Amino acid sequence: MARLAFAALTTLAIVLALAPASALQTPASPNGADYVVGFHHAPAARWAVAHGLAEVRSIHGAVPALVVHASALAPLLAAKLDPNVAFIEPNQRLHADGTGWDGTGWDGTGWDGTGWDGTGWDGTGWDGTGWDGTGWDGTGWDGTGWDGTGWDGTGWDGTGWDATGWDAPAPDPGYSQQWGLAAIHAPEAWNVTHGLRAVTVCVLDTGLDTSHPDLVASLWTNASDGSHGFNAMTGTHNVSDEVGHGTFVAGILGAAGGNAVGIIGVAQEKILPVKVMDANGGTEADLATGIQTCLDNGARVLSMSLHATEPSALLNASLASALSAGAVVVAAAGNEGTSQVDYPASYPGVIAVGAATPSAELAPFSNHGSRLDLVAPGVNITSTVPGAMYARTGGTSAAAPFVSGTAALMLDLNPALTGAQVASILKATARDLGTAGRDDTFGYGGLDTNASLMGAQP
């Protein structure tokens, strides 16, 4: 059910660069299909036309590449013989990794952030026995609301915060709905830093509602024109989020805390929304362009709650470029419930995040397996949605931004850390779950934001 809105799309399971010519398939439709052609060096002008192909657009990415439209296979086979061509592959589709994103699965639509009453909990998944079994004893959560006794009473007094909005009698009203923050020990981490809006985190997704009252303070702003993001599909600054998925992911990561509105994000940093999907999904060319755009604008964390159908030469180059630039790259493991982590989460060096329940079990829908790195809260997650609203849903899409936000806090505390060091600390400081040591159900374990921040100290 997770990706119905995105699933009924063409996927051509061939990678021309890897397949022998005899194994090539014909384009899927009589009208042809779009392919990505990657080059060793920038191609000559009108390269596509000269090869009997229609140029759709060039890709601003890690390698010179074009999107071309082929109405027959023969020109592609001929083009492959050009020694400047590095690979030809289908311009495959992207899919978002939330559950319920077909427009019918929202739990709690209509919440405007003022009427939190705690009745939305089901009261069954909250047995308090999970996570580390000690700090997570459930006594602070009585099902009727947050009683405040779980706080340490010192770090939460405004001195570590903005000194105005954070010492209010009650924290942001939606906090009582955010079980995941206590699970990852975010409040303890916030005693050290809640983020100083020093780190740019790129959210590669369906866009973002830039007028959402709980996100406006957290947005990256383009110094040259005041815009707040990029649309990698259209080459514009329009990041309007008709799906809601990107707005939801961004709120988990970085909704404004201490503003007495709605919820609290893991990190108070700068969110750079880069739109790579719309209601019809996106393509690998959009994602490659988006990744490059993140790097061009100084993002140190890239958060991807999405997946492609299969590995891609174009995206491999993009991901390698991001990692070598020192970025922390985080991706959702995927929601097929299989032992195969989706791509690009499965790419080496990318932090693959699965979804856990409040009782620290792997969510049934969460992918897992040998490439899983961490799990984070991914069930009954409350966050922002377009129109100044909030909703609750889940998915590995929801889990990944908990990790992205934690990475941002680590880099805020210690900007000298490399992306690889951040990834290493995140894994080393995770709370072991399941079989002792790393396992294929939980990876290195449950995200522990506080422990990761301790490990990141200069």
**Residues at the site binding Ca ion, with contacts judged by CB under 5 A:** 172, 214, 256, 259, 261-262
Least Å distance between CB 174 and Ca ion?
7
C-alpha angle 269-184-368 in degrees, rounded to nearest 5? 105
- CB closer to Ca ion, 38 vs 257: 257
Tell me whether the omega of the peptide bond preceding residue 27 falls within 30 degrees of 0, making it cis. no
Q: Give the closest residue to 99 by CA, choosing from 380, 423, 328.
A: 380
The three-state secondary structure class of 231 is strand
Q: What's the token pair of residue 13?
A: 């399971």
- CB closer to Ca ion, 62 vs 256: 256
Is the separation of the CB atoms in 165 and 258 below 8 Å? Answer: yes
Least Å distance between CB 119 and Ca ion?
21
Q: What's the token pair of residue 78?
A: 């001929």
Which residues touch 448 (CB under 8 Å, ≥6 apart)? 132, 184, 185, 429, 430, 431
Least Å distance between CB 160 and Ca ion?
16
Residue found by looking up tokens 């830039």 in the block: 210
The three-state secondary structure class of 261 is coil
Beta strands 381-385 and 282-283 are unpaired
- CB closer to Ca ion, 259 vs 397: 259
- CB closer to Ca ion, 259 vs 292: 259
Report how far residue 108's alpha carbon sits from residue 100's, in angstroms, rounded to the nearest whole number: 12
Report how far residue 45's alpha carbon sits from residue 3's, in angstroms, rounded to the nearest whole number: 38
Least Å distance between CB 248 and Ca ion?
14
Which residues touch 76 (CB under 8 Å, ≥6 apart)? 16, 24, 35, 53, 70, 88
Q: Is 176 a catalytic residue?
A: no
Least Å distance between CB 218 and Ca ion?
9
Beta strands 389-393 and 381-385 are antiparallel
- CB closer to Ca ion, 158 vs 434: 158
| Active-site entry in 205, 214, 241, 412 | 205
What phi and psi, each to the nearest 5 degrees, are found at residue 216? -55, -40
**Whose CB is nearest to Ca ion?**
172
Report how far residue 106's alpha carbon sits from residue 241's, in angstroms, rounded to the nearest whole number: 16
- In SS3 terms, 129-162 reads as CCCCCCCCCCCCECCCCECCCCCCCCCCCCCCCC
DSSP tag of 77: H
Q: Is 218 a catalytic residue?
A: no
Least Å distance between CB 220 and Ca ion?
18
| Active-site entry in 245, 366, 412, 448 | 245
Least Å distance between CB 70 and Ca ion?
49
- CB closer to Ca ion, 166 vs 365: 166
Q: Is 397 a catalytic residue?
A: yes
Question: Strands (DSSP E) along 277-339, which ranges?
Answer: 282-283, 301-304, 306-308, 328-332
- CB closer to Ca ion, 6 vs 175: 175
Report how far residue 232's alpha carbon sits from residue 204's, in angstroms, rounded to the nearest whole number: 9
Is the separation of the CB atoms in 258 and 403 below 8 Å? Answer: no
Least Å distance between CB 168 and Ca ion?
11
**Beta-ladder partners of 58:** 66
Torsion angle (degrees, nearest 10) of CA 272, 294, 347, 245: 30
| Active-site entry in 397, 404, 412, 452 | 397
Active-site positions read 205, 245, 397
